[in-house]
Amino acid sequence: MSRLPKRRLICLAGLAALCAFQGVFAAESGSPPLVSPELLKHANLKTVWANELPIKKTESINRLFLLGNRIYVISDQNYVLSLSRDTGRIVFAKTVAPAGLLLAGMTLYGDQPLYVNGSSVVQVDAESGVESKTVNLGRGMTCPASRNSSHFYLAGVDNRLHVLRAQDAVQTFEVAADSDSTITSVLADDNFVIFATAAGEVISLVPNRPNRLWQFNAADAIAGPVVRDYMSLFFASKDTNVYRLDMVAGPEKRRLIWKYQAPGVLEEAPRVTQTVVYQHVRSKGVVAIDKQAGSLLWSAPGGLDLLAESRGKAYVMTETGTLVVMDNAKGKSLYSVNFSGVSKYAANAVDDKIYITDKRGRMACLQPAE
């Protein structure tokens, strides 16, 4: 197991037990809840678990990632805590990079998280946090890495997609878009690789050689990751459109199913659930798009992101620190709740759980009580 800094010389098993104790007995410890019981009752939400994360007083929570059955919490000093999504139990905790180095996000291979640390991609064991594989590209990367059973796919600052064998980290080939533009997103499985660029290209490759399967061109940069939903791809472009492409005959062909023109510039990837695509629009809010038809369901002015979806209701965080509950079928707001104590949250497009925290490390998992 990799060693923690001296300030955290606590065995992880003991740390997990301590934090589980803190989560269960937060009320007795005198720490006020992140959201008051009265507000939760008004929102028809219940607390699944609560926890106080063991971070220093001088650091704060930076980002939250939902990956598989874990939630990963990253502090501004690059201290990462892996928690069980179901119980809030801390599975492992470790410092993964020097403070001040911006991590380029986290992805999953199987159940193991991957993160970019400078010029390296690190894969860690989901249970212990021990590094199981490290691949050094020798240069910085422009977006999170991806891998399949045989290769890593790394987007270098040289605008090349570098393909390295997983077994020995030997580069087998590299490719670039026709525009020689910055790569903004990479996703891979054993059948195909998709990468997108700041020139608006979305390109599909054979996974083990530089053979192009197809290409789609948007009018401007692809913003954030391309989201795969079975054989459909959803992505946002700075040309103000959200796109849905279907790979109708396997990975070899693609078809544009719809594009929705949003009322402003898009800088983030959409959130895709079973029936709805949620998109943040800069200076406008969040719009909900029918997944099949590509038509507008509703708009939430000031909305920042989707926290969760449950039984046709969308729980949206706003820039004023308010939780707004939207009815997808009726296309209107049902009610709102003061969430001003919440500073960070996870976007959850998978189930109905809401994960929130404040800068001090008070964290809660909420769920609709219905």
pLDDT, tens only, 266-308: 999 999 999 999 999 999 999 999 999 999 999 999 999 999 9
Question: Is it the case that residue 168 has pLDDT exceeding 80?
Answer: yes
Mean pLDDT of the residues in the chain = 90
Distance separating alpha carbons of residues 59 and 71, to the nearest angstrom: 19
Over residues 38-50, the pLDDT tens digits come to 999 988 999 999 9
The more confident residue out of 176 and 21 is 176
Torsion of CA 94, 96, 99, 105, to 10 degrees: -120
Percent of the chain with pLDDT over 70: 91
Give the model's pLDDT for residue 24: 41
Over residues 88-113, the pLDDT tens digits come to 999 999 998 888 777 777 999 999 99
pLDDT band at residue 30 using 50, 70 and 90 as cut-offs:
low
Residue 365 token pair: 């998992």
Domains of the chain: 6-61+272-370 (2.40.10.480), 104-269 (2.130.10.10)
With tokens 């180095």, the residue in question is: 101
DSSP for 119-165 reads: TEEEEE-TTT--EEEEEE-SS-BSS--EE-SSEEEEEBTTS-EEEEE
Question: Is it the case that residue 334 has pLDDT exceeding 50?
Answer: yes
Over residues 222-237, the pLDDT tens digits come to 999 999 999 999 999 9
pTM above 0.85, yes or no: yes
Distance separating alpha carbons of residues 115 and 141, to the nearest angstrom: 11
Query: What's the count of helices (H) and strands (E) in the chain, helices before strands?
Result: 2, 33
